[in-house]
Every structure is written in structure tokens, then in C-alpha cells.
A and B are shown apart, each in its own frame.
Chain A
Amino acid sequence: MSPRHLKVATWIMLAALTLIGWLWQGGDFALGILVGGVLTAVNFHVLAHVLTGTLNRPGGEVQKWEVSGRQGMLFLKNIIRLTIMAMILYMVVKYSLVNIWGLVVGLSSVVLTLILLGINEIRKLYLKEAIAGNGTSNSIS
């Protein structure tokens, strides 16, 4: 499972949840899901971008990175990400811009995606073991 796979799955899940919310509760609820989902998906994308860029560096680059004092930037990026998230949530909840329960469902979209992908991976693993556990590599006739 690659980060790109995760990102695409998150957007698909968000679209599906928004559609279900719109059909089930109407536009206000669907807007809540969309706002919450976009917030959490963008938050996840930025987290993935920052961490992947930080941890997957070749040795020489890491030294250059340490010398140039960009470790502080990592910290700053995280603080900015969380502050923007908190400010948007504050505005949305305080002024009741969207349905609160829709917002909560939308905020759960990434977690739901990860749980579903995890279940899918486990299912694949069990299926693989079940096939390998036949006791023979030859086909059973």
C-alpha cells in the first residue's frame, strides 16, 4: 500500500460518504461531511508530505538538512498545520456554518478509509495463507 494509494482511497471514501449523507439527510449534512472530510484529508496529505520528505532522505542530504537548520521548519510546519485546522474547526463550530454531526462523520473519513484498507489487507493475507495452506504446491484435482 503506497501513500498515493491511501490518498486516492481517502478521496473516494469522502465522495461516497458525501453522496450517502446527501441522500440520507440532505444538503446541510452532506456539506458538513464534505467540509470535515476535506479538512482531515488535506491534514493527512500535509502530514504525509512533511513526514515522507523528512524520513526518506539519503544520508548526505540529511547532513545538509541538519546543518541548514531546517529541523525547526519541520516543527513549524506541524504547528502551522494544527493551528489552521483548529482555527477552521473553531469558525465552523462557533458560527454553525455546517451540520455538526456531518462534520464529525467527515472528520472520520480518513479513519474509516484506513480501517477498511486494513481489513482488506488482512483479508488478502488470510486468503494468501489459505491458498498456501493446502499442503501442496500442486493443484488439487
Chain B
Amino acid sequence: MSRKQWMVTGMTLLLTLLYCSLAMAAEAKGADAATGASLARFFSATVIAAGIGIGIAAFGTGIGQGIAIQRAVEGIARNPEASGKITVTMLIGLAMIESLCIYALVVALIILYAYPMAKPIATALGFQM
């Protein structure tokens, strides 16, 4: 990764974090508004957590699969007769790498739609769900 790519990645991350702080900075007035704001903050945090989680997983999976396929293609180019064995080994690796991203997707979906603690937290904040 070149220096420019590092800088672009860093700036994107920084901007994302700045927007997060802006989104969470809004303070409501009054008791009801305060609990509403707490709930909104909680759900904003869950959405951000799901997004960042699946983003990191996809980033790692992409790099891992890219490297695996690169090496496999190099191996097949050097020794075409071994393409069968190389393909099977690569398939195993890819399936294992991809499963990590699928787990991250499931966890993100659970956080968004089936988070078991969402109801107790909303009840504790005074909301009936």
C-alpha cells in the first residue's frame, strides 16, 4: 500500500469518525427528550457498530482472498499440471476465509434486527416495546 493510499484511508476513517461525533452530539431538552436521546444514541451506536464490523470483515476478507487467488494463479502459471491440486487447496482456503465474512454479516444483522438486549434497554429507558 502506497503512502497516498494510506493517507486516503486515514482521511476517510477520520471523516467517518467526525460524522459519528456530530450525529451523537445532539442533546435533547427535558426528561422524555433525554431518554429519547439516550435511546436514539443507543440505536445509532448499534447501527455504527454493525457498519464498522462488516466493513472491517469485508476489508480483511478481500485482502485474504485476493492474496490466496494471486498465489494460486501464480502457482498454476508456473506449473499448469498441478492446477487441480492447487484449485482444491485454494477452494478450501477461500471457503474458510469467506465464512468469516459471513459470520460478520450474521452478527451485523443480529445487531440490527434481532439484538436480544434491545428490548430490555428500551424498557430500562422507559419505553414500551
Residues of A within 8 A of B (CB): 1-3, 6, 40, 43-44, 47-48, 51-52, 55-56, 85-86, 89-90, 93-94, 96, 100, 103-104, 107-108, 110-111, 114, 118
Contact = CB atoms under 8 A, between A and B. Distances in A.
A40 B102 contact: yes
Q: Interface of chain B, helix or strand or loop or mixed?
A: helix
A52 B91 CA distance: 9
Interface of B: 72-73, 76, 83-84, 86-88, 90-92, 94-96, 98-99, 102-103, 105-106, 109-110, 113-114
A6 B96 CA distance: 13
A86 B91 CA distance: 20
Contacts of A118: 92
B87 A93 contact: no
B114 A114 contact: no
Q: Interface of chain A, helix or strand or loop or mixed?
A: helix
B99 to A, nearest CB: 5
Contact of B106 (A2, A89, A110): A89
- Interchain residue pairs A-B with the least CB separation, the first 9: A93-B109, A94-B113, A111-B99, A55-B87, A56-B83, A44-B95, A48-B91, A114-B92, A93-B113
